[in-house]
Chains A and B, each alone.
Chain A
Amino acid sequence: QSALTQPPSASGSPGQSVTISCTGSSSDVGAYNYVSWYQQHPGKAPKLIIYEVSKRPSGVPDRFSGSKSGNTASLTVSGLQAEDEADYYCSSYAGNLVVFGGGTKLTVL
């Protein structure tokens, strides 16, 4: 159960787009289309924003999108807004288990 690899930080100016990567292995990200992404603001519980690689739960803006290629998944935030500044975590199903990424702190400049 090795953690997925995410860049520790990412940034962009309001209105720009930013992409966060999440690299796993052929046992997790590469094996299943079950990658999720979570947004966490300081002192708050995580919030699901993407599931099954690219699906958005009801109420999540379409500025958030997900994709996957091989063992790497990506989260793209388009039209950055100040409230998007938060920590973002990817996770993957790994055969009855779940593995998270180390998290990426997104800064809106």
Chain B
Amino acid sequence: QVQLVESGGGVVQPGRSLRLSCAASGFIFSSYGLHWVRQAPGKGLEWVAVIRFDGTNEYYADSVKGRFTISRDNSKNTMDLQMNSLRAEDTGVYYCARDAYSGHPMDYWGQGTLVTVSS
């Protein structure tokens, strides 16, 4: 069965960095694009970034462009999100999700990892 497991969340001070990881299993990892989606406490979903199945292209939401970097290692079935210059508004649960079909629907999601940016 498809599984996505996020890790790396925690409490971090504003301006510092944090790296999230997503470990995948149960499918051919190198055939699928992957997304990061976040959800601030009590708020809605916000798309963060996507990386193509082969890692050749990545796209970001304006709110994180230039601060966050998405990457993947198809030999290890993992995807990362490097988050720099963190702000209080980056606080939330970060989900990794598998990209399916055309138009970026996300058919499998992890359980999420909580990032809290606070001094």
**What is A's interface to B at a CB cutoff of 8 Å?**
1, 3, 32-34, 36, 38, 40, 45-48, 51-52, 57, 87, 89, 91, 93, 96-103
Q: Flag if A51 contacts B105 (CB, 8 Å).
A: yes
**What is B's interface to A at a CB cutoff of 8 Å?**
35, 37, 44-47, 50, 57, 59, 61-63, 95, 97, 100-107, 109-112
CA distance A40 to B37 in the complex (A): 13
Would A98 and B107 be within 8 Å (CB), given that A1-B61, A1-B62, A45-B95 are in contact? no
Q: Flag if A103 contacts B104 (CB, 8 Å).
A: no
Q: Flag if A34 contacts B110 (CB, 8 Å).
A: no
Partner of B101, one of A3, A52, A100: A52
The contact sample of 5 A-B pairs, CB cut-off 8 A, is: A33-B103, A45-B109, A46-B97, A48-B100, A97-B59
Chain B residue contacts of A33, Cβ below 8 A: 103
Chain A residue contacts of B95, Cβ below 8 A: 45-46
Nearest-neighbour CB distance to chain B for A85, whole angstroms, equals: 17
Interface centre among A34, A98, A103 (most CB of B within 10 A): A98
Q: Flag if A36 contacts B45 (CB, 8 Å).
A: no
Q: Flag if B44 contacts A100 (CB, 8 Å).
A: yes
CA distance A40 to B99 in the complex (A): 18
Chain B residue contacts of A45, Cβ below 8 A: 95, 109-112
Q: Flag if A96 contacts B111 (CB, 8 Å).
A: no
Q: Flag if B106 contacts A36 (CB, 8 Å).
A: yes
Q: Flag if A46 contacts B45 (CB, 8 Å).
A: yes
Chain A residue contacts of B111, Cβ below 8 A: 45
Q: Flag if A101 contacts B44 (CB, 8 Å).
A: yes
Q: Flag if B109 contacts A98 (CB, 8 Å).
A: no
Nearest-neighbour CB distance to chain B for A104, whole angstroms, equals: 10
Partner of A47, one of B47, B100, B109: B109
Would A34 and B104 be within 8 Å (CB), given that A100-B46, A102-B44 are in contact? yes
